[in-house]
Amino acid sequence: MAKKVAILTGGGDCPGLNAVIRAVTLKLTRAGYEMVGVRGGWRGLMENDYMPLDIKSISGILHRGGTILGTSRTNPMKTEGGVELLVDNLRQKEIWATIAIGGDDTLGVANQLHGKYALNMVGVPKTIDNDLSGTDYTFGFDTAVQIATENIDRLHTTAESHDRVIVVEIMGRHTGWITIMAGIAGGADVILIPEYDISVEETCDIIRRRQSGDKSFSIVAVSEGAKLVTREGEEQMVTQSDEVDAFGNVKLGGVASLLAKEIERRTGFETRATVLGHIQRGGTPTAHDRILATRYGAKAAEMVQNEEFGLMAALQGDAIVAVPLQVAVGERKVVRQEFWDLAQTFFA
């Protein structure tokens, strides 16, 4: 009888998920395994919500954003009896191995299910935030950077026409990877990210210096997770509410609007705020992300075939390798000093 392999996508969606599903399904189906798609991440395993996956069902999905399986932020570890139910369901349905495509939350669960319950788990690193350790890049990140850069380009022309400062808020949760890369690529005049503090006063000074020269507009790129810091050392992380999700994540958002008000109040320059939001996660993946996701999918399939569990496919240099899930979820990967130094070179 063919061994059954389940595949799920958890956490926030991102471009390239379907490319992974396609690569895994193609390779494993051809190798004689039976593929099962789990709907809605870990929720689907708790509720036995599956869809069959075969060569036909993955046709035409390579370039499509989102995930054909659906996703959720359900955490079985935080659901009463959730893990027991999930383990029972896997046994009853005779699912031999599970491939979890996700960020630190989803892969954290996979790591625990492997370590504590001896389940056969393989991980694939997904997130636009690029904050997973053990891999140089996650897929989805390149697309998000591309989208944010295109939007910064667009904001330039309107800011210039109106002699305005525009503050653009970019996703990334507690790391500034998307903001710093898109800020450098898009030529932002000030960049604020969670990893390195730059005060509101300093931000205003940079804008003043720039606008006292031959420029009458400025673009400020700010990460949603960047703290508003004053010279006196006051700090504020801006959230939409006090709510947290099942993994303890706060809902970030609103920093651009606060910063824009402060810039206008302190400098007198007309200032607007733009929030890119989920635009950064939607739509078709870049060619780079399609290739990276396909390579990850092929590696995950190979790991299942070789019975290498408790591991995640990862990019190191130009090689796709396997690293322990524990490494991936152990420590948040933050923006390196080298990128921060580079970004600062271009502040006025």
Residues at the site binding ligand F6P, with contacts judged by CB under 6 A:
12, 103, 127-129, 171-173, 224, 252, 281
Q: How far is the CB of 18 from ligand F6P (least distance, A)?
A: 17
The enclosing H or E element of 138 equals none
CA–CA gap between residue 35 and residue 52 (Å, rounded): 7
Q: State in angstroms the smallest separation of the CB of 281 from ligand F6P.
A: 5
Active-site annotation holder among 105, 129, 142, 189: 129
**Nearer to ligand F6P by C-beta: 58 or 128?**
128
Question: Using CB atoms within 10 A of its CB, is residue 270 exposed (0-12), middle (13-18) or buried (19+)?
Answer: middle
- DSSP-assigned beta bridge partners for residue 319: 316
- Closest approach of Cβ 157 to ligand F6P, in Å? 26
Cα–Cα distance between 260 and 160 in angstroms, integer?
16
Cβ–Cβ < 8 Å for 199, 229: yes
With respect to ligand F6P, which residue has the nearer C-beta, 168 or 304?
168
Distance CA 278, CA 270 (A): 26
Q: Which is nearer to ligand F6P, 282 or 324 (by Cβ)?
A: 282
Residue least distant from ligand F6P (Cβ):
171
Q: Based on CB atoms, which residue is closest to ligand F6P, 170 or 206?
A: 170
129 catalytic residue (yes or no): yes
b/e 153-173 (16+ beta carbons within 10 angstroms → b) = eebbeebeeeebbbbbbbbbb
How many C-beta atoms surround the C-beta of residue 29 within 10 A? 19
Active site residues: 129
